[in-house]
Amino acid sequence: MGAYILRRILLMIPTLLGIMAISFAVVQFAPGGPVEQVIAKLTGQGGDSSDRISGGSGADAGVTNFDASGVTSSKYRGAQGLDPEFIAKLEKQFGFDKPPLERFGLMLWNYARFDFGQSYFRDIGVLDLILEKMPVSISLGIWLTLISYLISIPLGIRKAVKDGSTFDTWTSGIIIIGYAIPAFLFAILLMVLFAGGSFFDWFPLRGLTSDNWDQLSWGGKILDYFWHLALPMTAMVLSQFAVLTLLTKNSFLDEIRKQYVVTARAKGLTERSVLYGHVFRNAMLIVVAGFPGAFISAFFTGSLLIENIFSLDGLGLLGYKSILDRDYPVVFANLYIFSLIGLFVSLLSDLTYTWIDPRIDFERRDV
């Protein structure tokens, strides 16, 4: 097993390099980079997405204090009429005065040491910014995973036991409808119905805590937290538990039809003993082993649109704003960290299989 783990870890290096290289290459051709963002702001062509221009990561902080004069041509859209020296200082501040290959190599060297630099448009380190936003996404990911499993596993087992019954048919229809409708549509519907839209004003519209959070008692803080969490979590759960429910049902059906189950029943064991004493462990192998991956998926990707709709200040909202702002240090740091964690979680999922069922031996299989 040690050799298998070592091979998997070594394979993570070229995989991570490939992810970063492709992403870096795509960004080079994307219009509207950070220099253009500043130019658009200074010339009155941009919105408020770059209104936090400060220090940045270069040596020349406070670029908005330079005088923009002179009429020259520029390779940047909207830069006509700006002093070329000013444009050069912008390029130096954002690191675009170096060739792309040199910038990519420097980025990889820094990321290997977990040095992610400073945000272009926020006066804070990228790692500090990610850690600041992480509690919200962790909160959503944990509750989404736990609630999905607590609903899906009992429901999947019940559907397997009642396979072909009216209960199975109706629940399958509801599950398929829930899976087919995107989470953000559920979120909008819930906002309209229960968050001060056209009907009821029962739940808050944004954030995970109220403005008077610090003044509440511990019990009040818990209630306030779940009050804010109700709508976004409902929208996420409705579209997330379908796959897990059907996977649980199909796993149990496969095991129930095997010979050892027939033998156990022939010995006179009760249906409950057969189901939970023999079938459960084998049927839950795939479901339990997928828990790490399910959590990471909910943590990093499942909440992106929900965070934007409900204005939850987490990693999803941070990544979305960073892409709009062309805040490349934040974008690439998020990509690097999440890809690295995803690769390790994939390895952890495989190891979970061997923990649940020791008969599985990855040493005898090619990676």
All domains of the chain in start order, with CATH: 31-97 (no CATH), 127-364 (1.10.3720.10)
Count of CB atoms situated within 10 Å of the CB of 66: 16
**Ranges under pLDDT 50 in the chain:** 48-73, 367
Q: Spell out the residues 6+ positions from residue 170 whose beta carbon is closer than 8 angstroms to its own.
A: none
SS3 256: helix
- For CA atoms 156, 160, 166, 167, give the dihedral sign: negative
pLDDT tens per residue across span 133-152: 888 888 888 888 888 888 88
Among 347, 148, 180, CA closest to 248 = 148
Residue 298 · residue 237 · CB < 8 Å: no
Q: What is the DSSP letter of 65?
A: G
Per-residue model confidence (pLDDT) at position 18: 93
pLDDT (0 to 100) of residue 361: 65
Tokens representing residue 224 in the block: 């306030």
| Nearest-angstrom CA–CA distance, 367 and 84 | 53
Instruction: Specify the pLDDT at position 8.
Output: 86
Query: What is the CB neighbour count within 10 angstroms for residue 118?
Result: 20
The pLDDT assigned to 79 comes to 57
Question: What was the pLDDT predicted at 342?
Answer: 81
What residues contact residue 252 under an 8 Å CB cut-off, 6+ apart? Answer: 156, 157, 160, 161, 275, 279, 283
State the pLDDT at residue 90: 74
Structure tokens, 11 = 């394979």
- Full-model pTM: 0.71
The pLDDT value recorded for residue 14 is 92
Q: Say what the pLDDT of residue 62 is.
A: 38
What is the Cα Rg of the chain in Å?
26
Quote the tokens at residue 190: 């819930």
Q: Do the beta carbons of residue 84 and residue 70 sit within 8 Å?
A: yes
241 vs 247: CA distance, rounded Å: 10
Q: Which residues pair with 195 in a beta bridge?
A: 201
Tally of residues, the chain:
367
Tell me the DSSP string of 289-349.
HTHHHHHHHIIIIITHHHHHHTT--SHHHHHHHHHHHT-HHHHHHHHHHHHHHHHHHHHHH
Between CA 301 and CA 323 the distance in angstroms is 15
CB 275 within 8 A of CB 283: no
- The two structure tokens encoding residue 346: 């994939």
What pLDDT score was predicted for residue 242?
81
| Each residue's pLDDT tens digit, 310-367 | 888 888 788 888 888 888 889 899 889 888 888 888 888 777 777 766 666 666 655 4
Helices of type H across 29-125: 34-42, 84-94, 100-112
Contacts of 179 by beta carbon, 8 Å cutoff, 6+ apart = 239, 242, 243
* Cα three-residue angle 15-25-81, rounded to 5 degrees: 155
How confident is the model at residue 53, as a pLDDT?
A: 40
Q: What is residue 15's predicted lDDT score, i.e. its pLDDT?
A: 92
Q: What are the helix (H) ranges across the chain?
A: 2-28, 34-42, 84-94, 100-112, 126-161, 166-180, 183-194, 218-238, 241-256, 259-266, 271-274, 280-289, 291-297, 304-309, 315-325, 328-356
Sign for the CA dihedral angle at 153, 306, 132, 106 comes to: positive
CA dist 101 and 14 (Å) reads 17
